[in-house]
A and B are shown apart, each in its own frame.
Chain A
Amino acid sequence: MKASSEQLLKDFDTYVSDEKKIEPKDWMPEAYRKTLVRQISQHAHSEIVGMLPEGAWITRAPSLKRKAILLAKVQDEAGHGLYLYSACETLGVERADLVDDLLSGKAKYSSIFNYPTPTWADIGAIGWLVDGAAIMNQVPLCRCSYGPYARAMVRVCREESFHQRQGYSIMMSLMEGTDAQRQMAQDALDRWWWPSLMMFGPSDKDSKHSAQSMAWKIKRFTNDELRQRMVDMTVPQAELIGLKMPDPDLKWNEEKGMHDFGEIDWEEFYDVIAGNGPCNADRLATRNKAHDDGAWVREAALAYADKKAKK
């Protein structure tokens, strides 16, 4: 006898709230599947577009050592994108359709990658702050109720902490350097601090997906909880190397045992999401060009495989 859809849904909710995992062929509510496809594909796109701001510095890294490290880091980001696309495809979507949605501008990716990287210190700030925020977001996702996503996150997190350390190491070196180098590091922090805090998404009171995702154990902590952790973790790291946070309202709140900090410029946040950030158009144009320029390679590989199979 087939269970009614209400019964299925009820069983699903109980199953998930008991901290049990969902695997690809299990029954799941359509809205759960859609939420995961949206979130995992956005996450994958962010890894892929995230290679662009840093990729710009591979040829200009200040030493062979830094260049080798940055190359390995950017290669990891490509790998992370691929783990995530692979997890997303277990939900019955085609890779090619996901990529098309990115290229057409229909799908979103993390807004942070729409900011430019004019100096070498930006590579330090990205590793330290952007990867730092990403880790904060991703560690709880290792316990996500959807098995393939959780497993992909375990791999990603294992690799990510090298990214954050290499970024902080760049900032440390600059802060031990000349006045101009210290100024460069401070300038990068000034530009990346607020966008990094925006990475956690809208404030809890405005976050339309949060409650359901928490109930489904996709999300474990709210946007504001994670943002607070990021501030508390990063402030002492900045102080230690002599950097000053660009927030006049930032101060330690003894009573709450955490930092108070200023209000995010939400207008800027929504404006960049809407496509009006400094590099939105450039990022999409670069991805589209790479995709178009690679079309003949994809076709040739397939033609060669067909020919070999016929022999």
Chain B
Amino acid sequence: MSNNNWPLWEVFIRSKQGLSHRHVGSLHAADAEMAIGNARDVYTRRQEGVSLWVVPASEITASSPDDTEKLFDPANDKVYRHPTFFVLPKEVDHM
């Protein structure tokens, strides 16, 4: 069945020059060119962007929620990475 279906693409939009592309949703298309065309029709009817990326959903590797702790927790105990950790004399506190 899925052989007859157009593959799924994830869509990213740069809303204006100077900002990065941001994920907005997905769509189905037979190929990359059609995915760009469909993304334009579905996601940018009101000047939402100036540039589009489309990526086959099957090409994205995502981290697993089960690894959240392993991947992101260690940052918690390195409070010295944040500037407010260091108490400075009042005279230079805007450093």
Contact = CB atoms under 8 A, between A and B. Distances in A.
Task: Classify chain A's interface size.
Answer: 20 to 34
Task: Classify chain B's interface size.
Answer: 20 to 34
| Contact residues of B: prevailing secondary structure | mixed
A119 interface: no
Given A82-B27, A87-B25, A25 B45 contact: no
B67 to A, nearest CB: 11
Interface in B18-53: 24-28, 30-31, 34, 41-43, 45-46
Nearest to B64: A25
Contacts of A90: 26
Lowest 7 CB-CB distances: which A-B pairs, in order? Answer: A301-B30, A305-B31, A305-B30, A86-B26, A86-B25, A96-B5, A82-B42
Contacts of A298: 4, 6, 30
A79 B27 CA distance: 11
A79 B24 CA distance: 13
Contacts of B2: 94, 96
A266 to B, nearest CB: 37
B79 interface: no
Contacts of B87: none
B65 interface: yes
B28 to A, nearest CB: 6
Contacts of B28: 95
Nearest to B46: A159
A76 interface: yes
Given A75-B45, A83-B25, A308-B31, A301 B6 contact: yes
